[in-house]
Structure 1
Amino acid sequence: MDFTSRKLSLSILFSVLVSLSWSQNFEGTIIDQTNSPQFGIIVQCGDKKTLTDELGKFQIPCNKGPLIIYGNEIDTLVYILNGVVAPQPIIRVQTSQSMEEVEIRSNRLHYFDIGFIPPIKGVQIATGTNTLIETERQGGAKSSANPRELFAKVPGLNIWESDGAGIQMGVGGRGLSPNRAANFNTRQNGYDISADALGYPESYYTPPLEALRAIEIIRGSASLQYGTQFGGLMNFIIKDPVQNSPFQFTSRNTVGNYGYFGTFNRISGTAGRFEYQAYYQLKTGNGYRPNSNFNQQQGFVQFGYHLNERNQIRLEYTRMSYLAKQPGGLTDKQFEENPRQSVRDRNWFKVDWNILALHFDSRLSKKTLLNIRAFGMLSDRYSLGYLGKISTADPGGKRDMIAGDFKNTGIEARVLQRYKLTAKQKHESAFLVGARYYRGQTSNLQGLATDGNGPDFKFNHPSEMENSDFLFPSENFAAFTDNIWFLGNRWTVNAGLRFEYIKSSAAGYYNQYAIHPLTLDTLSVSRIESSNTISRSIPLFGAGTSFKTGKYSNAYLNFCQNYRAVNFSDIRVANPNIVVDSLIKDEYGNTTELGWRGFIGKYFYTDLAVFTLFYGDKIGLAPEPNSTRKIRTNIGNALNAGVECFVEFDFLKAIRDSSKIGSSIFVNFSYIHATYISSREKSYIGKQVEYVSPIMLKSGLKIRAKNWQVQIQGSYNSAQFSDATNSKTGSGDAVIGEIPAYFVMDLSARYTFRKYFQLEAGVNNLLNSSYYTRRATAYPGPGILPSDGITIYGTLQFTIEVKR
């Protein structure tokens, strides 16, 4: 929606900041008649100028007044002078003078902490089922980043809970595997954070929830701007540096049961054209089960400089490391006896993650934006332990170790041009074009390591691996374009095209062992050399349309092609009970969605969608002929079809609009029917796709006032299967079998006092449910990985700020 072409009647809600400063600081929110925050509006006081953010909020020093809001048809203006908020006659500024700095209007929901991204935002186009999770407004366990609470309002997401501290995030949507969010294009501030964007898109790093401003999820045709993944984009947006202060310090400290302690400390500020921020997070604990202690540390530094009014550069460095002991999996019988037990005490996992990124943003003209982002990563991860069946006791002796080393660089540039189809048209259309170059190199070693109990990540024979030694160089060039046309006042059409050139190579060897079935002695060892390079060019297309059905609602239709290259993890031998098909090939597919979203009345919001997702040449596990082992191969074609529904209603505000207390209830429901429609294994046809929970239901109630809020929510997942045979009975090693239905409740509360202090407390898994979400084939199992039981936490936050 173009600000220059539509009359907006804006109301401005202000709160005066009480501080120890020697000058006044103004904080406010700009919304329209529907209480939707207005993004990108210019606010000025004296020579200071700022823009409202996606929540319509702004902060600006103002000790002289008046406060000026630039725009057309503004009926009310409020300014602050010497700490007094008072009305002022309307001030209008000519469009040509001020509107070049106004980018877009946000359709974010004001009273709820989730909404959708505007059609045009900065240098991106967002259509279809996109979601914006406003993390700053959320309650819940932020220190441990409880994913049930974080993604509670996003339909169709299945979540793996491998640890209770939020160290690794496992999320999959619309029937896709949740394994380390590998089916999403995971980014931070617009650049890649996964191990290898195409060859190994698993993400061992997740930014601290306490550092985030929002999370963007973009699916459908607009996701082609970012990659080929079936799941679309998941972009973690770090908070911007504080604009109204040269120095602000925030500290959050959390304690919980099982020895949990977390601390998050952030400094931030702006001085003239220069802005900066840095944070450090520490999380440590003993874990829910024995042998599950962990220590994670994260750091982030960002420097930004405004070269002039049109150009800005930002430099960011991210560092994360953690060491975690892994309690291993359990058999079905062990889980029933005691889900907290552990039968592995020598398994460890270690990760070091380093990412450097440089951004350049430029306003080339009144309607043309340019963004260039260059990034590089130097990271590694180590898995150490005994990989035998969980039904077999650890015999001691030498342990297996897998070492992965990731080195990649990339650069991406995009230009967005706004234009009008006709001179009389009210809304501006937009054309986006971009290109990306990416180069990666991953090494993967698997061999024997020390026979001790500690985290000694050293190979016994580093020059001669007992299992495998591979190098995976890759190169990728992509060009993409997207266009959104506003046809009249109600109808929009968008179309996107992406071209991918992918060059993947593998060079190395692996050993095959012939084992005596009775004595388990090694009969022979065969060393198999492998060297291969595959180049492919893939064009992908997506298109969609949207029609405004009411003043604040619209219907949409989207189609998008998808593609997933064979990953290094698909061809890596991690478990001696699994072999890899030498003819394994890339996966392909497409997604179609039809939906409606918007307001019914003022305080009732709904988003309803139906979708189909075709998944061709899906990779999975199948029985190896004449063997007890499994083979990883293209097992067949699958079709996922489903319904997603999200509704939220603030009934207290609906009864009394001026009420100082809000009370909203939400329901998030999805039904997914995912089956194999063809397969090399005839018995798989018609079977349910693995790790698809057909029914997922989340519902919650939040009550909030000026200084406090309380929320409770429940999460239900119906039963799902860990493999395509749909076996309900667990196998002896617990790798195969049903994952039973489960229901979990979470409770949290927050209270802010004396402005700079905040208390948070909560209980996760309030009913102490005993359940699990995953059967692991190798690390961190193998076997059943129990989820955490009842967890209690408390957080104290305080802020110190220097005023201008």
Structure 2
Amino acid sequence: MNSSSSTLQICFLTAGLLTFNYGYSSESEDTQKTKDDEYNQRMLIVGKKVALSTEAGSATVLDEEQLEKFEFDDIHRILAEVPGVNIRQEDGYGLRPNIGFRGVTPERSKKINILEDGVLIGPAPYSAPAAYYFPMVSRLTSIEVFKGPAAILYGPNTIAGTLNMQTRQVSSLNEGMFDLSLGPDNYQKTHAYINNSIGDLGLLLEGLSVESDGFKNLDGGGNTGFDKNDIIAKARYNLDTAEYSQVIELKLGYADEVSDETYLGLTDNDFAATPYRRYAATQLAKMDWEHEQAQINHFISNAKFDLTTRIYRNNFERGWRKLNNFQDSQVSLQQILNSPDNAINAAYYDILNGQADSEVNFGKLLIGTNFREFYSQGVQSDLRFQSQTFEIENNWKLGLRYHEDEIERYHTEDTYNMRSGVLEFSGNQTQVTTANTERSEVWSLYVQDTLKFNKWEVTLGVRGEFIDSYYQNNLPEQEENWLKKSTEVWLPGASAFYNLNENSGAFIGVHRGFIPTSPKQDPEIDIEESVNLEFGYRYFNSGTRLELVGFASDFENLKESCTASTSSACFDNIDQEYNAGEAEVIGVEFSYSDRTSISSAIDLPFSIIYTHTQAEFGETFSSDFALWGDVESGDPIPYMPENQLTLTVGLESSDWRSNLLVRYTDSMYEAAGDNVTLSGVTTEPLWVLDFSAAYDFINYGTLYFKIDNLLDETEIISRRPFGARPGKPRQLFAGYKYRW
């Protein structure tokens, strides 16, 4: 960390401490719990679902009870219960998620805002938004997805929406939990937390470890799994005075992962024969990362206002060693796997699977290690207050944030020979392929007022993003290659909600969407912009919830970036961005959940989630981007399933429960246009069933079972960046959870 960054953090800390009003008061347990709930709500976007939501914007909240139904470790599986989410699976475990909302490209989740406890959690959300780090979902107690006009409150990406994940909050109780789960492929999950309260001081310590040897079979043997660990510590202190309710909280976290993951898939024929095979050329693949986080929260409120201030710092570093290509090849790995019977391709293919050896001047493999170091830090304050103008109630939300983030890349390549199915280092000198730094310094603010009168709630707001970005090429003799640029944008939004009655309402909203370019992009690369419209109907009554939303995004300019996860054609042009001009996404989201009693002791909860999406290019153009090529107006945008459906049904009594989740994903185009690899190729439609069951022994804990992919469906979920890749096969898990 440089000295300016250290000074900045000290300034942030000092600024935050100056707002604290120290005091002491003793509260009853019920009063303290009310204060805890008030503070916890400020860590959320939507909050608890206790009444009809009058927010104009589609909102979904998955609370701790819902998250525990299936005990999922994979965010992709969890988000199947959220309408409007489009996903590209990759490794079967969800280690590096690809999540989009309302038709935006899901690649590395880089077009949505990802928050943890209200703070941007990506390694470098402005400079390099690809989410190679993602929190372990088993430690989360709530997940919120918010789409629509209120997106202007949560930048920088305002086109699609925001994913906010809440970690376990410190409570006023003395409690704890232990959870142990076992499964196939040496799967083990150990999860525990302990919470203690001493007067006004609350302490929480939580740890989670998940590991597996992997479900794929490496030619010649070896693990294809992962080992992940996550630890969080929190300390909260109440500083109440006679005039103010006040809380200060410190959160510290550490996480790491070592996973034997590769980008290389299979030929379609090999997938049909042995879908869980991995070629010998992937035996050195390994992702190794560490993440550190620190956050200070301060919350103060009285009858007139509440103010939440967050100071945060995230450090992330990772190295991913993987096969890049053949040293002497004029064709990409994707082309080799797409046409392995071609005379030239066949020779390379035999080396990939270890059936042939590299020769002196043929078949040397390039094994690259992409080392990247990130930091993200900032301070943000969010103010809420009310005012009255004649008969109109004004509910104000104002926010200000200063944010810095940086990525430093150092990519290298080594040459290896294939010898009798084993990769051997050639002894050649390591080549540095990429060395650069990108940094962003950002001021952002928002102002929003919700006017309540009669049966109406009208919300008007605007967000401002003011970005100064810097790029420096660090390769020898390339130091003169640098760029400094500034981006300033205002993002207005407006919406209205009409209460039809106390249980239902209709809403409509429009807002401007924005996604910035990265610091290294030439100013000729335009930002992504859109005008987004939504309208819908919402019903809530006790356990019954229904929402129907239509949405449309009219893109003035669609933008994509070339990453290693996109295509092997991007390896020589990592993170270059491309413009596609106009595009259009329209769709419908439907969600319905209810609960009925089938006897005096057994309830049947169920839900239906459906999303229909049509995403098309609006211009005819030719592009060097590996997913586009020669595109005609009306061509579909890749990795956008037209139809998605999720059904859940359960049986619950006072001491046991069982749940079934049925998920359907329509086919998706692997690429758009012509003259690119995989033009016209699609994934197959996919049905996946997940099942869970649990029995509560009252004072002796809970025994639970789950089966992921109950029908053992095996389909190609993606051919990106090269080769066919499977989802997870059927797996049975058993676990025991004890709370005190």
TM-score, normalised by the number of residues in structure 1? 0.75
Give the counterpart of 1:646 among 581, 591, 607.
591
Shift of 1:271: 1.4
Amino acid at match of 1:411: V
Would you say the 8 A contact 1:303–1:316 is kept in 2? yes
Give the counterpart of 2:167 among 238, 241, 244.
238
Give the counterpart of 2:133 among 201, 205, 216.
205
Quote the Cα distance in structure 2 between the aligned partners of 1:53 and 1:762. Answer: 37
Quote the Cα distance in structure 1 between the aligned partners of 2:190 and 2:143. Answer: 22
Q: Helix, strand or coil for the counterpart of 1:740?
A: coil
1:412-427 matches, within 5 Å, as 412-422=380-390
Matched, 1:315 2:250: yes
Q: Which ranges in structure 1 are unaligned for 5 or more consecutive residues?
A: 1-43, 59-100, 120-125, 512-525, 572-580, 623-627
Hey, what does 1:156 align to over in structure 2? 84
Would you say the 8 A contact 1:146–1:164 is kept in 2? no
Would you say the 8 A contact 1:651–1:663 is kept in 2? yes
Matched, 1:745 2:689: yes
Q: Helix, strand or coil for the counterpart of 1:467?
A: strand
Would you say the 8 A contact 2:705–2:734 is kept in 1? yes
Quote the Cα distance in structure 2 between the aligned partners of 1:665 and 1:233. Answer: 26
Give the counterpart of 1:467 among 433, 439, 452.
433
Amino acid at match of 2:74: A
The structure richer in helix per residue is 2
Q: Helix, strand or coil for the counterpart of 2:65?
A: helix
- CA RMSD, aligned part only? 3.4
Shift of 1:615: 2.7
Could you list the per-position Cα deviations for residues 59-81 of structure 1 after superposition, in whole angstroms to 9, with x for gaps in the alignment?
Answer: xxxxxxxxxxxxxxxxxxxxxxx
Hey, what does 2:340 align to over in structure 1? none
Q: Helix, strand or coil for the counterpart of 1:721?
A: coil
Hey, what does 1:720 align to over in structure 2? 668
Amino acid at match of 2:705: A
1:211-360 matches, within 5 Å, as 211-229=139-157, 230-245=159-174, 248-291=175-218, 292-309=224-241, 310-327=245-262, 328-343=264-279, 344-360=282-298
Matched, 1:409 2:350: no
Quickly say closer, same or farther: Cα 1:629–1:355, change in 2 above 3 A. closer
Matched, 1:361 2:293: no
Shift of 1:203: 2.4
Amino acid at match of 1:324: S
Hey, what does 1:9 align to over in structure 2? none
Quickly say closer, same or farther: Cα 1:179–1:102, change in 2 above 3 A. closer
Hey, what does 1:130 align to over in structure 2? 59
Shift of 1:460: 8.7
Matched, 1:772 2:684: no
Equivalences, count = 650
Q: Helix, strand or coil for the counterpart of 1:688?
A: coil
The answer to which of 388-397 and 212-221 deviates more is 388-397
Q: Helix, strand or coil for the counterpart of 1:387?
A: strand
Could you list the per-position Cα deviations for residues 110-152 of structure 1 after superposition, in whole angstroms to 9, with x for gaps in the alignment?
Answer: 7xxxx98x55xxxxxx53112211133334442523632x223
1:167-186 matches, within 5 Å, as 167-186=95-114
Shift of 1:268: 1.0
Shift of 1:103: 14
Give the counterpart of 2:31 among 26, 43, 49.
49
Amino acid at match of 2:714: S
Quote the Cα distance in structure 1 between the aligned partners of 2:316 and 2:173. Answer: 36
Quickly say closer, same or farther: Cα 1:48–1:740, change in 2 above 3 A. closer
Would you say the 8 A contact 1:348–1:455 is kept in 2? no
Shift of 1:432: 1.3
Shift of 1:690: 1.0
Hey, what does 2:443 align to over in structure 1? 477
Matched, 1:552 2:497: no
Give the counterpart of 1:187 among 93, 111, 115.
115
Q: Helix, strand or coil for the counterpart of 1:719?
A: coil
Would you say the 8 A contact 1:220–1:542 is kept in 2? no
Could you list the per-position Cα deviations for residues 45-68 of structure 1 after superposition, in whole angstroms to 9, with x for gaps in the alignment?
Answer: 967623459999x9xxxxxxxxxx
Shift of 1:169: 2.8
Would you say the 8 A contact 2:44–2:166 is kept in 1? no
Hey, what does 2:537 align to over in structure 1? 596
Would you say the 8 A contact 2:44–2:117 is kept in 1? no
Hey, what does 1:609 align to over in structure 2? 549
Shift of 1:597: 0.8
Q: Helix, strand or coil for the counterpart of 1:49?
A: helix
Quote the Cα distance in structure 2 between the aligned partners of 1:45 and 1:290. Answer: 58
Amino acid at match of 1:358: I
Quickly say closer, same or farther: Cα 1:542–1:747, change in 2 above 3 A. same
Quote the Cα distance in structure 1 between the aligned partners of 2:96 and 2:42. Answer: 38
Quote the Cα distance in structure 2 between the aligned partners of 1:253 and 1:484. Answer: 46
Amino acid at match of 1:592: L
Would you say the 8 A contact 1:637–1:679 is kept in 2? no
Matched, 1:587 2:528: yes
Would you say the 8 A contact 2:115–2:121 is kept in 1? yes
Quote the Cα distance in structure 2 between the aligned partners of 1:387 and 1:371. Answer: 46
Shift of 1:799: 2.3
Hey, what does 2:565 align to over in structure 1? none
Quote the Cα distance in structure 2 between the aligned partners of 1:639 and 1:561. Answer: 14
Could you list the per-position Cα deviations for residues 279-330 of structure 1 after superposition, in whole angstroms to 9, with x for gaps in the alignment?
Answer: 1111111111125221111111111111225211111112111011124222
Shift of 1:768: 0.7
Amino acid at match of 2:691: L
Shift of 1:604: 3.6
Amino acid at match of 1:360: H
Matched, 1:383 2:320: yes
Quickly say closer, same or farther: Cα 1:153–1:550, change in 2 above 3 A. farther
Would you say the 8 A contact 1:474–1:505 is kept in 2? yes
Quickly say closer, same or farther: Cα 1:51–1:552, change in 2 above 3 A. farther
Give the counterpart of 2:582 among 637, 645, 657.
637
Quote the Cα distance in structure 2 between the aligned partners of 1:301 and 1:663. Answer: 38
Quickly say closer, same or farther: Cα 1:307–1:456, change in 2 above 3 A. farther
Quickly say closer, same or farther: Cα 1:602–1:397, change in 2 above 3 A. closer
Quote the Cα distance in structure 2 between the aligned partners of 1:103 and 1:419. Answer: 23
Hey, what does 1:666 align to over in structure 2? 607
Hey, what does 2:18 align to over in structure 1? none
Q: Helix, strand or coil for the counterpart of 1:651?
A: strand
Q: Which ranges in structure 2 are unaligned for 5 or more consecutive residues?
A: 1-25, 219-223, 326-332, 338-347, 353-362, 563-567, 623-629
Quote the Cα distance in structure 2 between the aligned partners of 1:378 and 1:739. Answer: 36
Shift of 1:400: 1.1
Q: Helix, strand or coil for the counterpart of 2:463?
A: strand
Quote the Cα distance in structure 1 between the aligned partners of 2:398 and 2:543. Answer: 37
Q: Helix, strand or coil for the counterpart of 2:58?
A: coil
Quickly say closer, same or farther: Cα 1:331–1:311, change in 2 above 3 A. same
Amino acid at match of 1:177: T
- Tell me the percent identity: 18
Amino acid at match of 1:176: V
Quickly say closer, same or farther: Cα 1:531–1:598, change in 2 above 3 A. same
Q: Helix, strand or coil for the counterpart of 2:300?
A: strand
Quote the Cα distance in structure 1 between the aligned partners of 2:45 and 2:88. Answer: 36
Would you say the 8 A contact 1:241–1:276 is kept in 2? yes
Quickly say closer, same or farther: Cα 1:387–1:479, change in 2 above 3 A. same
TM-score, normalised by the number of residues in structure 2? 0.81
Quote the Cα distance in structure 2 between the aligned partners of 1:494 and 1:132. Answer: 21
Amino acid at match of 2:237: Y
Quote the Cα distance in structure 2 between the aligned partners of 1:466 and 1:209. Answer: 36
Q: Helix, strand or coil for the counterpart of 1:670?
A: strand
The answer to which of 559-568 and 709-718 deviates more is 559-568
Amino acid at match of 1:307: L
Hey, what does 1:708 align to over in structure 2? 656
